[in-house]
């Protein structure tokens, strides 16, 4: 973030609505930074104990799964999102973009699963004939719009913040050159880009507008989720989740270091997220150091209920890190009713963890954001 409290608040306007899909932490950030808005109602839960989750093979029998599906289908009807299209101009070349955005504040399905890397999975109902639900209908993270003329990629929120009166974000159109950034992506139609490629391009677009490092760190996490989900769904994934976790950690570390004026909550949440990225990368000592930053931030001294829930997550990921366990798990929360769709995340976890484990060592030793981005772009066919 910037060196002033005012710019810190402007920064929050950009990232926090994206982070609210992280469920518990999102609710916290919305409470602290967006007091004028009602936070999206979310719950967290699962079958985990002491930071360890279970898989479908651990006891989710067929009969129980059927009840779960029925509960999910019934609950989903009251949380169906409404998407509106916002026609907004790209500041680079004034192309009008049809940016999708949720129209209702309860747009995120509160019955998604929660994993300890702070991600939520927003689900749409399974097809009548069975099979896997499609996340693209409800997942806020997938609501991207790409300028077909130059590859710049945004959320509607980005375009709002970049163009609103008094915005401190700016870009020189002459400095944006997709062919220079990625000849491989420039050679392909933007309609052919994978989700992970589009999210990387969103990070590069935000960087070109002057978005700060902590913001970029949270944006990079979106790429990790897309790579994880895409792997399980059998979609093309060119950039693995481990690369995005490394990029997120590098940006968060830089942002924390460059801005000593961060308030306790912002510093604590950023450090907690950075520590979890390090844990997933197998960087046990770095994760431990990050969790120490959380303790020193003062965030843990608060009496805010949402932060107490975040502390519950923190305790679990600290325990996992101490044991040398670098996989994803369900998180348990005593303060919230367990969602009825734990079966779905539990079913996904083996594939996601396999994907993460396959690529972890390739990215665990990288700390420079530009070097990570260069390596990511080399994977683009």
CB atoms under 10 Å from CB of 1, counted, come to 25
CB atoms under 10 Å from CB of 235, counted, come to 14
pLDDT at residue 119 in the model:
52
pLDDT at residue 49 in the model:
25
0.85 surpassed by pTM: no
Q: Domains in the chain: how many in total?
A: 1
pLDDT at residue 232 in the model:
78
CA 4 vs CA 90, 250, 268: distances in Å: 28, 22, 18
Cα–Cα dist 215/201, whole Å: 14
Quick one: tokens of 182?
A: 């990625």
CA 199 vs CA 89, 109, 191, 314, 379: distances in Å: 19, 22, 13, 27, 14
**Sequence-ordered list of residues with C-beta below 8 angstroms from that of 252, at least 6 positions apart, any chain:** 213, 214, 217, 218, 270, 271, 273, 274, 277
Domain assignment present for 304:
yes
pLDDT at residue 98 in the model:
95
pLDDT at residue 69 in the model:
54
Cα–Cα dist 86/102, whole Å: 10
Q: At what angle do helices 213-233 and 195-209 cross, to 10 degrees?
A: 170
Domain assignment present for 178:
no
Residue with tokens 């996340």: 135
Domain assignment present for 156:
no
Domain assignment present for 12:
yes
Residue with tokens 């683009």: 380
Domain assignment present for 288:
yes
pLDDT at residue 238 in the model:
98
Cα–Cα dist 223/142, whole Å: 10
Domain assignment present for 296:
yes
pLDDT at residue 79 in the model:
53
Do 66 and 362 touch, CB atoms closer than 8 A? no
Domain assignment present for 201:
yes
- Using CB atoms within 10 Å of the CB of residue 110, give its burial: 0 to 12 exposed, 13 to 18 middle, 19+ buried: buried
pLDDT at residue 34 in the model:
30
SS3 114: strand
CB atoms under 10 Å from CB of 168, counted, come to 13
pLDDT digits (tens), the chain, 381 positions = 333 334 444 443 333 333 333 333 443 333 333 322 222 222 222 222 222 333 333 333 333 344 455 655 565 555 555 678 899 999 999 999 999 876 654 444 333 334 555 554 444 444 444 444 443 344 545 578 999 999 999 998 899 999 999 999 999 999 999 999 999 999 999 999 999 999 999 999 999 999 999 999 999 998 998 898 788 777 899 999 999 999 999 999 999 999 988 999 999 999 999 999 999 999 999 999 999 999 999 998 877 776 778 888 899 999 999 999 999 887 776 665 554 444 456 677 888 899 999 999 999 999 999 999 999 999 999
Q: Which domain range does residue 220 map to?
A: 5-79+105-135+186-378
Domain assignment present for 147:
no
Do 144 and 182 touch, CB atoms closer than 8 A? no
Backbone angles phi, psi at 338, to 5 degrees: -65, 135
């Amino acid at each position: 973030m910037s060196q002033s409290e005012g710019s810190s608040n402007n920064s929050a306007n950009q990232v926090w609505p994206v982070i609210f899909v992280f469920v518990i932490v999102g609710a916290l950030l919305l409470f602290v930074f967006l007091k004028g808005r009602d936070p999206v109602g979310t719950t967290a839960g699962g079958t985990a104990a002491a930071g360890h989750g279970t898989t479908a093979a651990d006891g989710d029998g067929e009969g129980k799964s059927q009840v779960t599906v029925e509960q999910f289908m019934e609950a989903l009807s009251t949380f169906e999102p409404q998407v509106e299209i916002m026609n907004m101009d790209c500041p680079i070349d004034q192309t009008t973009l049809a940016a999708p955005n949720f129209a209702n504040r309860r747009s995120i399905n509160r019955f998604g699963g929660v994993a300890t890397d702070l991600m939520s999975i927003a689900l749409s109902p399974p097809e009548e004939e069975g099979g896997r639900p499609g996340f693209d209908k409800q997942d806020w993270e997938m609501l991207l719009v790409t300028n077909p003329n130059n590859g710049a990629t945004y959320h509607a929120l980005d375009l709002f913040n970049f163009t609103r009166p008094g915005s401190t974000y700016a870009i020189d159109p002459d400095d944006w050159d997709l062919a220079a950034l990625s000849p491989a992506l420039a050679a392909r139609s933007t309609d052919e880009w994978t989700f992970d490629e589009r999210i990387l391009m969103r990070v590069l677009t935000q960087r070109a507008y002057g978005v700060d490092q902590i913001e970029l760190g949270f944006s990079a996490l979106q790429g990790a989720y897309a790579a994880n989900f895409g792997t399980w769904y059998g979609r093309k994934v060119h950039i693995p989740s481990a690369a995005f976790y490394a990029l997120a950690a590098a940006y968060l570390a830089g942002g924390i270091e460059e801005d000593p004026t961060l308030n306790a909550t912002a510093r604590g949440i950023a450090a907690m997220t950075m520590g979890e990225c390090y844990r997933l990368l197998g960087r046990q000592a770095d994760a431990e150091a990050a969790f120490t930053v959380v303790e020193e931030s003062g965030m843990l001294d608060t009496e805010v209920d949402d932060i107490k829930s975040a502390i519950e997550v923190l305790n679990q990921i600290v325990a996992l890190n101490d044991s040398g366990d670098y996989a994803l798990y369900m998180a348990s929360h005593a303060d919230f009713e367990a969602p009825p769709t734990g079966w779905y995340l539990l079913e996904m976890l083996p594939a996601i963890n396999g994907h993460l484990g396959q690529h972890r060592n390739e990215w665990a030793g990288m700390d420079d954001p530009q070097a990570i981005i260069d390596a990511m772009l080399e994977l683009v066919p």
